[in-house]
Structures are given as C-alpha cells and as structure tokens.
Structure 1
Amino acid sequence: MDKSPGYPRPNPCLSFWLQGARSSPLLGHRTTEALPEAADVVIIGSGLSGAAIAYFLLTGPNPPARVALLEAREACDGATARNGGHCRPDCYRDYKRYKSAFGQEQALKVIQNEKDTLKLVTEVIEKENIDCDFWRGDSYDVPMTQSVEDELAAAYQEFVDDGGPVDGFVERILDPEEARKLTRCPSARAVYKSSAATLWPHKLVLHLLRLCIEKHRLNLQTHTPVREVLQKTGGWIVKTDRGDVATAQVVYATNAFTATLLPEFLGRIWPMKGQCSVVIPTKSYSGLNNMLTASYNLTENEYLMQRPKDGVIIYGGGRRFMPIEKLRGNTDDSAPYPEVIKGLKAELPLYFEGWGDEALGEGMMHAWSGIMGYTVEAVPFVGELHNKPGAFICAGHHGHGMARIMTCAKGLAAVIQGGQWESTGLPECFQPSPERMSAPAAAPAGGWLNSIAKWAWRSGA
C-alpha cells in the first residue's frame, strides 16, 4: 500500500528559521572526527524529539556515559526547523477523534498531555535560559463558516459533557460582533480563546544540542544517514555510510522517515508535505498598538502568529490549494508549491479587517516546505518497540509535535532508563503496542484521507 519514504532529500529549501542560522557553530558539526564505534544509546534524528530525548537522558539521574546522535542532514534540518513555531495545546477541538480511536479515558489524557507539554516547554526554556523568542499568550480558534462553527460547538460540548476541564482553559465567545472585534476578522462567527506559545523552534533545539555537547558529552554526528539497524545479542548495530556503531539501546526519532528503517510502520507513519511562510504586515498591522495580540487557527485550515520581537507574521497551511494525493507520501522539501503560495498570499486581506494594499517590501517575504509524519489515529508512537528489546521510538507527531514532543521525550527518556510507563504521565495510547500495530494501516486515498488532512491543520507545528 505504501512505499518506503526513503531518506531526507539532500538539498532542502531554507525556512525562515534556518535562514537565521547561517552562523550556527553546529552546521556540519561532528563532535569527533571519526564515528564512535560504540555507544550506550544511539539516537537517530536531531529534531526536537532527538534533541529533547538526549537532553532528558543526559540531565536526568544516572545518565548514560556515551550518547551518540546521528543525523542524515544538518542538525535540526527536518520538520522542527520548518514548522510554524506554534506550541498550541488542543484544549477541546479534536477530543472526539481521540475518543473514537481510543475511548473517553485516553482521549481526556491526550488533551491533558498537550497542556502538560506547554508547561514543560516553558519550564525548560526558563531553566536553561534559552533565547528562542519564546512568547506565551492567547490563541484563537476562529470559525468563519457555519460548518466550522457547528464543528467547534459540537466538539466543545462533547468534551464538556464527558467531564473535560474548560474553566480556566477555554473561553467561548459566541456573540459574532464581540468575536469580530476581538479577532479583527470580519467573518468571525465566534471565537474560542485558549493559551499557547510561539517560539523560534530551531533556536530551541540548537541550544539543547549545544548544552548536551558542551556539558554532557553528547556526540553529534551530522551528515551521517543511518542505512540499517541490525539486532545482535545484547543490543544493536547501527550501520551508516561512515561505519557502524554498536549500542545497547537505539532510539528512532525519525518522524516521517521512520518506515525506511522500521518497515512495520509502513502505512502507520507516513510523510505529509506542508507549507509555511513569513509575511511582512502592512502598516495597519504593524507597531505596538496595531499588532495582533494572539495566535490564530483560522477557518480555512490556516494558522498564524505575529512575532512580538520583530512583528513579522508566520502564516501556514493552504492545503486545500493542492490535491491531497500530491501531499501524502511526498518527501520533497526542496521547494514549496507555487499554487499554495498564491493561495496563501491572497488570504490575509480577506481574513483581516483593514489589511490594506501592500507596499513594496510588504506581504509574503518567503515560503518554504517541510515534511511531517502522520499517523492513522493522529497521535504519535512513543515507547519501546514490541519484540525489540532496547529499541525505542518517538515519531509520528502528526503535524502537532510542538505541543507533544517535550513531554514524550521526557517520558521516553525515563523508560529508556528503566522506568515504568505509568510514571511518565503519558497516555497509554501513544505506545506502539501489539494491538495498535496490528490494527489496519492507512487507507490509500479518498474521503478518509481528506478528512485526516483537514483535521490535522490546526497547530502549525
């Protein structure tokens, strides 16, 4: 049904975040000239998952002495470096989907986990004094059509009826006039206000990696794609073009490319191409008194946040401008689609009141693409692999990794060190259990696929 995703493309485009990292000391970094012959733990993938797992392993109790992190391209050059920088917990909206897949108890846990992630991201950034343009504030779900308004109302009500906490987490404003005034969106029919954060994701990851290299002996090896992982007595052999690494434990932080090394994940984690852009706002949305004061999820599957530090707008989505079959399974992040660029360019003047004509230098400045890892149930795979002792996974974050990965990484680090799953606080449904792995894999196309794509637009992560 699905073919192997292969490997990350050798010449990816640069996101806004990557354009600002051309002086990074981790470009082309290899901690040691030669690949280490052995390690206690090998982590494959240096995005937020790989970096955060390394961080929690090395700063936790009884840290392993030798941790190697292998990356096919540059450090943090995949989905994390190409997302919208939006750490936005889902406080109610997708509860029905989780409930359908895993039941009420697990669905409530998934929602709570995202709130826990925002808290943990905040704590880590403050503890390590990470300069990544971190900002916390309000976030708006803004329905602009009757169908989306009905969808949000139904999701909210079912969540509340099942005992989901909304007091202090979600404020619902149903008066259209009040919603339009608050959001500056003339077509707003209501607004659901919750809490979120925005940040420069590449800076966050590079800070964690540098900290682990400089203080905790992490061995980072970029431009070292892993070709195969072979089981041996007491551990694993990780094979690369530069040699082999023997290890007792191996961690797959490989997201969209997981099935290349773990074929059992074909159709369970698959690539999905997304697009994002940076927009220079008009004067009507520039300056301290005119800037947007919240991040947004908009009715047509777009997400938006205006950076307080420089006032530029990060704007992503536009999936409806391309046939979904061209996005699913696509690993080409060398360029964005012109059709999506054109569609996104036209939207802000339509969505926001008084946007006005764009002067020279205003409007969309740059667009890029990134490859996300999607799953059937729209939740990641986290935990030890069945019948593969010492092999672990943290992948398939379904375009929502900023609101999930930090807690997943902390929990998985504890499990790698011998801790029990119950102590992690993570939802049990995240685990790659035999039951989950034996369930039907993804359908090839059609209405099911379109509903998956529509559902997963909301975070920009």
Structure 2
Amino acid sequence: MSTIPNGAANPNAPGYPHPNPCLSFWLQNTRSSPLIGHRTTETLPETADVVIIGSGISGAAVAYFLLTGPNPPEKVVMLEAREACHGATGRNGGHCRPDCYRGYKGYKNHVGKEQALKILQNEMDTLNLLTKVIEKEGIDCDFWRGKSYDIAMDKECADFFYESLQEFIADGGPTEGIVEWIGDAEEAKKRTRTPNALGAAEFPASSLWPYKLVQHLLLLCIDKHKLNLQTNTPARSVSQGPSGSDWSIHTDRGDIKTKKVVFASNAFTPTLLPEFLGRIAPYRGQCSAIVPTKAFSGKGMMTHTVSHRWGINDFDYTIQRPKDGIIIHGGGRWKVPTETLVGYTDDSEKLPVLTKHLKEFMKENMENWGEEVMGEGLLYDWTGIMGYTPEAVPYVGAVHGKPGAFITAGHSGHGMARTFTCSRGIAALIRGESWESTGLPECFQPTLERLNTPKMTVEQQWVEADKTGVPLMH
C-alpha cells in the first residue's frame, strides 16, 4: 500500500498528504494565485479561538460561514499541509451534481426511508446554497448551472436506474420538474450522443472551477475577516488538554492551542483521529482535461454534463466547460483492481492503464467524435485522493467524547454536492446552535453508535459498500 506515513503514530493510518503532488488542470492554470506559499503571519500563532485543519472546499466554506455569520470568533487559524486547495478539491472534476434519485434505494436499505429522503434533499439544498453564495459574493469561478444525464450502458444499469427512481417516487421523493426518465433507447442515444445508451435520466447539475471558488472564499476571509491561513504546515497530531475541552495541534513549526478544532481533512482524518481508522478510507481517482474535436466544439459543444455507467458502480463522468470548451473527464476506476485504488494516498503518480482509458474514452463512447488532429485529445491527466466511507455517508458534526472537536470528512467522492451545507452546519454548531438548525440529515453525525461499529480494513470497506447498494457517486 503506497501511503506516505511520514512519521504518523499509527502505521495503519493514511499518513500525511504527499509533499510533492502532481498538478491538476485547475492548479496548472492558477499558478499566479496569491495563495501560493501564503502565510498570513510569519510565525504560527500560539493560540486561536478556532483552528480549521484543511483548506479545500470544506475548510474554506467553514471559514466563510463562520466568519460571515453572527458573532464571528476573533481568531481563526487554518492549517494546510501543502498549498491551499491542493488536495481533493483542487483535483476533482468541478462537477456539482446532486443525486436526485439514483442512490435512494441503497441509502434506504442502510439508514431508512426518512434519512434517505433527507440525504437526497440535502444535495439539492447544497446546489442551491452554492448558487446563492456564488451570486452573492460575485465569485468568478466559471460557474454554470444546467442539466446532466445519467446514461445506462447496459441492462443491469438501466434496471437499477429505473427501479431506484420508482422506489423514490413511491416513497414521496420529489421528481416532478426535476428528474426525467428516458426509457426509449433510441431517444436516449439521440439526446446523450451516446450510441450504446440503453436509457438515461436527466436532472439538475452544475460545474465550476473548484480552485477559483476556494481561492475567492479564502481571500475574502483573509482580507475582510482576519482569517490566518498557514500553508505548508501539516498538523502532525492533535491532543486534548488536561481539562478535556482544550486542544493542542502539533506542527513542525510549533504548537497551537485552541478551544475548538475542525477536521476538514477528508481522507487523512484517521491520522489525526484514530477512531476513524476503518471508517474513512483513502481512495485514489484519476481525471483528465481533453481538447475536443471539431464535432464537439462551437455549436457542437455538449449541452449537458454526463455520467456513463455500467452496472451499479462502474462509471465515468464528463463535463464540457462552456468558457473554453475544454472537456473534463474522470473515471476508469473499474478498469483496474480495487486494491490499486483503496488505501492509496500518493497523488504524485498516475496509473498508465487509467491514462490510456481517459485518452480513448470519448472516441469509443461518444457519437461522431472523429479522428483527433494534432493538438486535440488528451491534454493532461492527474491523480486525486478522496475519502470514502462504507455506506457513502459522510461524518459531519461534533466528534463524540471530544468537546470542541468537529468533523466534516468522508464525502465519498461526492463532496461538491455536499460540502457547502455540511460546512454551514459545522459553523452553526461551533456557534452553539442545535443540530436541528443545520438542516442536515441526522445520519451524517459521528455518533457513538456509528463509532462503535466494527472497524474494517479498506478492502472490507469496499465489499461492504457494494452490499449497501449505494452507488459510487458522479
């Protein structure tokens, strides 16, 4: 298992983020960012009211909602192991795509009807909140909101889509004006431009430049609300003080004490909170940027984002950026053994098998892609590390038995559709508000019951995830 423990106390922990990761398309094209190498103060503060560990979309949104909300704390410090937003958020597909029906049956089997309905509603709430904040703050992040297609590429998948949708409708799930089922194969082929489609579902989605979103939020918090961002400062360990309600975060540059700490560290959280070992597992993914052929340029550009799916858990996803026409395409994880993905934290390397898959996917699956002339086709591909839970349900809330500790992690490759509402909820909890005020599903909480479930190896987690019937997201 290619982890980078770097002195982590537990050899089974995921360790710390790789010190020299590859760059994504997003990161390659924001090398002028003022956040690179940013440290608000030359020395690490000795104390803070709140410390946020992680500067991706979860951490940035926690800072935003906390500092722009009522009674903001005076001293908020954010620790980032590498450069700001160089983790999973800076490497994802920029696909904000709520699950409007697909995972319902699996969630229902795992957490019950009421919570399953809340999970899917939360994802639409997240898309709406994200839209609201981008408009309110005037964030230039290439935000686009429109529609997406789930495309069934075999009968097993078509049946799965349809049965999930019907069960969701039967249980009162909202679909009118939201989800359209296209059961006629010829119509599905025509509308999705996919010759092998057997069926499809259309529903809301959006896309954006994830790094630019986070950059705007962080700079706003730094410039107007005194956020202290410390990059290249990994939190090596976190310990409770004698009273049990104060915390020390240990870094290579010294320690910082605080009453409240937020773990927005996703796949790497178990290194700092051992109780999440066997409950949040690193999962390696690969994504790419593609220059389209003429057939998919200009008036021929895609009008929807799409996800091609085989069976329940084999999928790829595709977004064409309206601003420059570049196609962002991720997936292919089903082309390699699971053991080469689960548990790996090295985002400095790529898997050649996945690079080949990403390079060839559009030609093999999209209608009339055509031959690629010089300069068209695969521009670049890269690796990112996600944090998965067996039930595809994140851990969000106050950490049991650890006063002042909060977590938002384990978003299972679906963080763009969850993190904004989750981070807003964490900000509310820090202010002392009730769980009910967050509007989040109760099943997200890191309760004692969830933490008392038997720990699993990452391989066991994967088997368990398949049993739940909750599909991998996108």
How does the TM-score come out when normalised to structure 1? 0.97
In structure 2, distance between residues paired with 1:212 and 1:458:
31
Q: Does 1:278 align with 2:289?
A: yes
Q: Partner of 2:157 in structure 1?
A: 148
Q: Does 1:239 align with 2:250?
A: yes
Q: Does 1:86 align with 2:95?
A: yes
In structure 2, distance between residues paired with 1:223 and 1:206:
16
Q: Partner of 2:12 in structure 1?
A: 3
Mark the runs of 5 or more structure 2 residues left unpaired by the alignment. 1-9
Distance 1:25 1:454, change over 3 A: farther
Q: How does 1:80-229 map to 2 (within 5 A)?
A: 80-229=89-238
In structure 2, distance between residues paired with 1:444 and 1:403:
24
Deviation at 1:350, TM superposition (A): 1.8
Q: Does 1:55 align with 2:64?
A: yes
Which amino acid is 1:458 matched to? M
Asked if 2 retains the 8 angstrom alpha-carbon contact of 1:324 and 1:453, the reply is: no
Deviation at 1:272, TM superposition (A): 0.2
Listed one character per residue, the Cα deviations across residues 344-365 of structure 1 (whole Å, up to 9, x for unaligned) are 2222112111110011111111
Mark the runs of 5 or more structure 1 residues left unpaired by the alignment. none
Q: Partner of 2:46 in structure 1?
A: 37
SS in 2 for 1:28: coil
Q: Does 1:19 align with 2:34?
A: no
SS in 2 for 1:357: coil
Asked if 2 retains the 8 angstrom alpha-carbon contact of 1:399 and 1:456, the reply is: no
Q: Runs (4+) of structure 1 moved beyond 2 Å? A: 440-447, 449-458
Q: Partner of 2:5 in structure 1?
A: none
In structure 2, distance between residues paired with 1:99 and 1:435:
18
In structure 1, distance between residues paired with 2:464 and 2:90:
26
Deviation at 1:42, TM superposition (A): 0.3
Which amino acid is 2:446 matched to? P
In structure 2, distance between residues paired with 1:249 and 1:97:
35
In structure 2, distance between residues paired with 1:181 and 1:376:
36
In structure 2, distance between residues paired with 1:430 and 1:87:
19
Q: Does 1:69 align with 2:84?
A: no
Q: Partner of 1:458 in structure 2?
A: 473
Asked if 2 retains the 8 angstrom alpha-carbon contact of 1:2 and 1:266, the reply is: no
Compare 165-174 and 120-129 and name the one that shifted more: 165-174
SS in 2 for 1:41: strand
Q: Partner of 1:394 in structure 2?
A: 408
Q: How does 1:262-273 map to 2 (within 5 A)?
A: 262-273=273-284
Q: Give the counterpart of 2:303 among 284, 293, 296.
A: 293
Distance 1:181 1:50, change over 3 A: same
Which amino acid is 2:248 matched to? I
SS in 2 for 1:445: helix
Asked if 1 retains the 8 angstrom alpha-carbon contact of 2:238 and 2:248, the reply is: yes
SS in 2 for 1:115: helix
Which amino acid is 2:67 matched to? L
Q: Partner of 1:435 in structure 2?
A: 449
Listed one character per residue, the Cα deviations across residues 109-138 of structure 1 (whole Å, up to 9, x for unaligned) are 000000000000000000000000000001
Compare 23-32 and 2-11 and name the one that shifted more: 2-11
In structure 2, distance between residues paired with 1:64 and 1:186:
55
Q: Does 1:415 align with 2:429?
A: yes
Distance 1:24 1:75, change over 3 A: same
In structure 1, distance between residues paired with 2:295 and 2:456:
45
In structure 2, distance between residues paired with 1:452 and 1:87:
26
Which amino acid is 1:249 matched to? K
In structure 2, distance between residues paired with 1:453 and 1:255:
21
Asked if 2 retains the 8 angstrom alpha-carbon contact of 1:116 and 1:407, the reply is: yes
Q: Partner of 2:331 in structure 1?
A: 317
Asked if 2 retains the 8 angstrom alpha-carbon contact of 1:87 and 1:118, the reply is: yes
Q: C-alpha root-mean-square deviation of aligned residues, in Å?
A: 1.5
Asked if 1 retains the 8 angstrom alpha-carbon contact of 2:96 and 2:206, the reply is: yes
Q: Partner of 1:379 in structure 2?
A: 393
Deviation at 1:202, TM superposition (A): 0.5
Listed one character per residue, the Cα deviations across residues 398-441 of structure 1 (whole Å, up to 9, x for unaligned) are 00000000000001100111000001100000000001111233
Q: Give the counterpart of 2:55 among 36, 46, 49.
A: 46
Asked if 1 retains the 8 angstrom alpha-carbon contact of 2:98 and 2:123, the reply is: yes
In structure 1, distance between residues paired with 2:303 and 2:467:
30
In structure 2, distance between residues paired with 1:454 and 1:307:
31
In structure 1, distance between residues paired with 2:457 and 2:84:
33
In structure 2, distance between residues paired with 1:307 and 1:452:
35
Q: Partner of 2:463 in structure 1?
A: 448
SS in 1 for 2:300: coil
Q: Give the counterpart of 1:305 among 303, 314, 319.
A: 319
In structure 2, distance between residues paired with 1:377 and 1:458:
12
SS in 2 for 1:406: helix
Q: Partner of 1:249 in structure 2?
A: 260
In structure 2, distance between residues paired with 1:389 and 1:453:
32
Asked if 1 retains the 8 angstrom alpha-carbon contact of 2:106 and 2:470, the reply is: no
In structure 1, distance between residues paired with 2:459 and 2:434:
38
Q: Partner of 1:337 in structure 2?
A: 351
Asked if 2 retains the 8 angstrom alpha-carbon contact of 1:2 and 1:267, the reply is: no
Percent identical across equivalent pairs?
60
SS in 1 for 2:178: coil
How does the TM-score come out when normalised to structure 2? 0.94
Listed one character per residue, the Cα deviations across residues 238-270 of structure 1 (whole Å, up to 9, x for unaligned) are 111101111010010010000000010001001
Deviation at 1:336, TM superposition (A): 1.5
Asked if 1 retains the 8 angstrom alpha-carbon contact of 2:99 and 2:123, the reply is: yes
In structure 2, distance between residues paired with 1:64 and 1:47:
20
Deviation at 1:442, TM superposition (A): 3.4
Deviation at 1:311, TM superposition (A): 0.4
The number of residue pairs the alignment matches comes to 458
SS in 1 for 2:138: coil
